Chains A and B, each alone.
Chain A
Amino acid sequence: MFFSLTRTFSSRSSYATLATRLYNQKVSYAREKQPDEQIEYIKAIEKSTQNWTIVKSDILSKRGNVNQKNIDSVLLKSMTTAKNFDAALSFTKHLQTTSEELSLGTINSILGLYAELEKTTNTLSKDQKQFILDSYKHLYDKYKMLDYTTCEKLLHALCAIKEWEKALKVLNDIHISTVPSHSAYSTLIATFFKLNKKKNAFQLIEESVQHKRPLQENAYEEWMNYILRKFKDKKVIAKHVDDLFSHVAKNCAIIPKETANKLKELYSAMNWDAQFSRIKKVDGQCSCCKEKLENLSLTNEEFNTLQGNVKEKLIMGSDLFLKTSPQELKRFLDFIEKTAPYDVVLDGLNIAYSVGMAPHREKLSFLINIVDHFLKQKKKVLLLGRKHMLGWHKRSLDQIMGKTCSFFTEDISQDDPYFITAAILSGPHTDIVSKDLLRGHTFLLQNESLRLVFKRWQWQHQWMVFLNVHKGFVVQPPLKFTPCPQKKDNTWHLPYDNQVISSTAQVNDGTPDLYSWMCLRRK
């Protein structure tokens, strides 16, 4: 059977190509890992006090990467992650009594243990708190400047005992060698809310957004707790929860699942309505409240910045010659000036190739169908392609070029940046037709807010065409709504991160997950 399969492979190369591609996706070349004896042993440690000297010598006698230098730290870390606190604490005691001076790595692990202990059980003894303060002082005296691992551990431990001033200093020290982690920012923000320091918290939230560190679940939770603790009146609470939502909406963030659950609890405690829902892709209707999501069209200012950036970032980039040539760019700009504005810009090659590897004439006839479809709606169409298209079927080509404006780039230039630029330069009402998700071009915009604006523009203006066996072709219009967190009347719609759904395979069609949203309504 196998050989017949092979024969089909070699005779029809395109099938073979497809088959290999499919096959490659399936096969995972996971090599079986040899279990590390030392790690196995450490994992098997019971939840009780043991004779640690024997345990240590046992581990060291086995093969592995754990050695005399790092054994204390590795043991502590592994027990902390396994939430094996009794054993960890007994080992800490053993370390503090026996060894004369703790190494930096060991101190880090102990700090990590205490932070975790405070987080889960909330029982730090006075000695343990004193240890954190002592090691803060001791480490800064000894080294003056600390590395990021030590800083992060210190920060978490200091937050656990609510020493926010020291924690803030540590956070600033991390910046010398790297950007602080998500959890560092979130923990400190949570601590600020715990201590009712709203102003500091907001400052830090601002900073974390700048460094692309969106908030984590614990920060959101403490934010909500703060609001509930501080205010009792329903209206005032609603106003302050709106602050939280506006922060989410402004950054187009996706809230974690735990936070979504907490929000739901909060809303039901207030006797308001909160439901998990889904959004209909066709018109943006929420399955829960039957309201439709709004289309947040670009403001003039936003569109102007997009218009100002697109030529520079997409076509010129770091080197004009990478994608085109100066002569061609000039030819293009002259052409736009003469013929703009358009209603629709077609990505000629992308549409033509939706047919697959068919003869050129079929590709062109498909293209004609699409052009006619838009001409019927009395729209002005611009066709963008490459010059090698001109060698295709002459008559069909003349037919198309008679009806539309058309611009063809050189064969060694890229046509994608040109069709995007043409659409954006032509004005805020111009649409594009392409199946391409334009992710590479979104990336090239470099600026995060600009990317979001471009993404919104794309949702509102991108048509897609698909080949259909029965109807010839299907034209998919742009989204009628913007899939971002938004408020309408007294209702908030927010997407949340549902790990279950996102782990299954889905075809990425450019829209975010519409199945995991929250509908939060106030009465």
Chain B
Amino acid sequence: MYCFRKALTAVLIGRERLIHSKKQIKFAPFQACISVNKQPRCYLSQNTKTCEPDQVVNLLCNGHPELEKKLRILMLEVEVMRQDGRFAPDAINKDQWQHLLDLKTKNQRQSYLRYLFKTEKSKENLKAKKEARRKEFISQKPEDTKENEDDLLYGIQHQSLFLRIRDQSINQFDNYRALQAMIYGQSVVIDCSYENYMVHKETVNAAKQLTLVFGDNRLHKNPFNLHLCNVNLKSTFMKQLQKNIPSLDEPWFPMNIHTQSYLDIFPKEKLVYLTPHCREELTEFDHDAVYIVGCMVDKVNNEPLSLAKAKRDGIKMAKLPLDRYLEWAPGSKKNLNINHMVPILLDLKMTADWEYALQHIPRRKLMATKIMAMQKNLNPAFKNGFKNNFKLSKLNTLAFKEKRLKSRRSLYDDENI
């Protein structure tokens, strides 16, 4: 009960802080400079149903004849694909048309349409499955019965001893730590200047990773003060991030968004760019340094962009000592996701233990996993045994799940340390 109360007070304190947060942020060393378009917020899900083709044409082309011609042809192209038995979705919304217009080649359009088709089908299937389950549930559900007229019903849906903690409370509790870090925490910069080098899919991916970074960071016992630098507020990346985190442009939101470069905000000698392409290894975590992580997904373009950037700006570079602590499988790339980098840094700051921090690297990249997979594939007896022997399979899946859990748990679990 005690800890429960403590949690509640913490939330309350958090809330109080939240109310005054405008004032406090002003006194904080680095002012949050959010100026995302201040449109009235829409609390309803917007109508994303497909509009009529003519409506789409009007919206996208604004009477531009060349563009309109191209769009009409693309619409015909999609229609023919539908009638041809090739993969094309039945419904395409305005944004998707815009993206189709932006794509340069026929093959790019085709693969995008195939992707849309597949997602559409899987959504349909999911819906059908849910509907079936709902019907089953309704038919099975037993009635709650009272023995006497005056009896009280106990249970989750009825009366219960426990207070309900709503998502919002948990959210605010989490934000509290992030806000605290904005005042006292160490700064970490996420450099968002690479959008031009990414294709659309990668941009969306990067936005998703950044969303996870924000979540992981505020869950941690001792979070960083996150700064997004070089942000272009009108870019697809920012739009996508806004979609993922709707409260991004609120004044109290615990993340700094700058349109300036990190050079304008931090002293140059403190900055350290983390890039996998350089030669120097990061041996010790420096609690005074400001580490920079490049916000990019480099599946298509694997030029050493972050190295070039650091070289041009003339700041220090470092890479994680990955080879020193882990044995890598051949062929796995050593550039990590942003949502792996930041948790690694978080744990490293707290424990100064590389082995522990590097747990966040996906296991599939390591030699041990590769050898396990080889054993499974090479030995058919083992494979069959895996299927038949229940005990063995259970053990295996448990171990597997545990491994996966471990990397997440370290973010907020006290006993783990």
**For A147, what are the chain B residues with a Cβ–Cβ distance below 8 Å?**
73-74, 76-77, 80
Q: A196 to B81: give the CA distance in the assembly, Å.
A: 36
Asked if B34 is an interface residue, CB under 8 A from chain A, the answer is no
- What residues on B are CB-neighbors of A300 within 8 Å? none
Q: For the complex, is B305 an interface residue (Cβ under 8 Å from A)?
A: yes
The B-contacting residues of A in range 65-111, CB under 8 angstroms, are 65-66, 69-70, 73-74, 77, 103-106, 108-109
Assess whether A322 is in contact with B83, with CB atoms less than 8 Å apart: no
With A105-B84, A147-B76 known as contacts, the answer to whether A178 contacts B307 (CB < 8 A) is no
Interface flag for A333 (CB, 8 Å): no
CB–CB A106/B83 < 8 A: yes
Nearest-neighbor residue (CB-CB) of A23 within chain B: B374
Q: Please, which residues of chain B bring their CB within 8 A of the CB of A322?
A: 303-305, 307-308
B85 and A66: CB pair below 8 A? yes
B363: min CB distance to chain A, Å: 15
Q: Is the CB of B83 within 8 A of A20?
A: no
Residue of B nearest to A66 (CB): B85
Say yes or no: A27 contacts B303, CB within 8 Å. no
Residue A24 lies at the interface, judged by CB distance under 8 Å to chain B? yes
Q: For residue A319, which residues in chain B have a CB less than 8 angstroms away from its CB?
A: 308
Beta-carbon contact of B279 and A411 below 8 Å: yes
**Is the interface on chain A under 10, 10 to 19, 20 to 34, or 35 or more residues?**
35 or more
Q: How far is the CB of B292 from chain A (nearest CB, A)?
A: 16
B327: chain A residues at CB < 8 Å are: 13
B interface, over-half SS:
helix
In the complex, the answer to whether B311 meets A321 with C-beta atoms within 8 Å is yes
B367 beta carbon closer than 8 Å to chain A: yes
Docked-complex contact A145 and B76, CB < 8 angstroms: yes
CB-CB under 8 A for A176 and B303, given A6-B375, A70-B85: no
Chain B interface residue count, CB cutoff 8 Å, equals 40
Check if B377 is an interface residue, CB within 8 A of chain A: yes
Residues of B within 8 A of A145 (CB): 69, 72-73, 76
Question: Is B106 an interface position by the 8 A CB rule?
Answer: yes
Of B84, B277, B305, B371, the contact of A6 (CB 8 Å cutoff): B371
Among candidates B279, B305, B367, residue contacting A16 with C-beta atoms closer than 8 Å = B367
- Interface assignment of A21: CB less than 8 Å from any CB of chain B: yes
Most chain A CB within a 10 A radius of its CB, from B73, B83, B85, B382:
B85
- Complex: how many Å from CA A321 to CA B327? 31
Cα–Cα distance between A352 and B331 once the two chains are bound (Å): 23
CB contact between A10 and one of B307, B329, B371 (< 8 Å): that residue: B371
Segment 51-101 of B: residues with Cβ below 8 Å from A: 69-70, 72-74, 76-77, 79-85
A103 to B70, CA, bound (A): 21
Asked whether any CB of chain B lies closer than 8 Å to the CB of A377, the reply is no
Q: Chain A residues with Cβ under 8 A from B72's Cβ?
A: 145
Shortest Cβ gap from A12 to chain B (Å): 12
Let me know if A149 is at the binding interface, CB within 8 A.
yes
| Partner of B77 from A2, A109, A177 at Cβ < 8 Å | A177
The answer to whether B74 and A177 have CB atoms under 8 Å apart is yes
Instruction: Enumerate chain A residues within 8 angstroms of B140, measured Cβ to Cβ.
Output: none
Question: Contact at A412–B84, with CB atoms within 8 Å?
Answer: no
Given A13-B367, A16-B371, A177-B73, the answer on whether A27 and B377 have CB atoms closer than 8 Å is yes
Chain B residues near A65: list those with CB within 8 A: 85
A275 at the binding interface (Cβ < 8 Å): no
Within 8 A of B (CB), among A155-191: 176-179
Q: Mark A143-157, 1 if CB is under 8 A from B, else 0.
A: 101111110000000
Distance between Cα atoms of A104 and B80 in the complex (Å): 6
Assess whether B330 is in contact with A412, with CB atoms less than 8 Å apart: no
Q: Are A146 and B73 in contact (CB under 8 A)?
A: yes
Which A residues touch B377, using CB under 8 A? 27
A17, A108, A179: which contacts B84 (Cβ < 8 A)? Answer: A108
B:249-305 near A, CB below 8 Å: 277-279, 303-305
Contact B308 A105 (CB under 8 A): no
Q: B residues 101-117 with Cβ under 8 Å of A? A: 105-106
Q: Which residue of A lies closest to B121 (CB)?
A: A65
From the candidates B81, B82, B307, name the one contacting A412 in the complex (CB within 8 A): B307
Question: Does A307 belong to the interface (CB within 8 Å)?
Answer: no
Contact with A along B319-341 (1 / 0, CB 8 A): 00000000101110000000000
**Which of chain B's residues have a CB closer than 8 A to the CB of A23?**
374, 378
**Once the chains bind, are A178 and B80 in contact (CB under 8 Å)?**
no
Chain A neighbourhood of B77, CB < 8 A:
147-149, 177
- Top 4 A-B pairs, shortest CB-CB distance: A105-B83, A147-B77, A321-B308, A74-B85
Cross-chain pairs A/B with CB under 8 angstroms, 21 sampled: A2-B375, A2-B382, A6-B371, A6-B375, A13-B367, A17-B367, A24-B331, A27-B377, A65-B85, A69-B82, A70-B85, A74-B85, A105-B85, A108-B80, A145-B76, A147-B77, A177-B77, A177-B106, A178-B106, A321-B309, A412-B311
Q: Supply 12 further A-B pairs (C-beta < 8 A) apart from A13-B327, A109-B84.
A: A2-B375, A2-B378, A6-B371, A10-B371, A104-B83, A145-B76, A147-B73, A177-B70, A179-B106, A321-B311, A388-B279, A412-B307
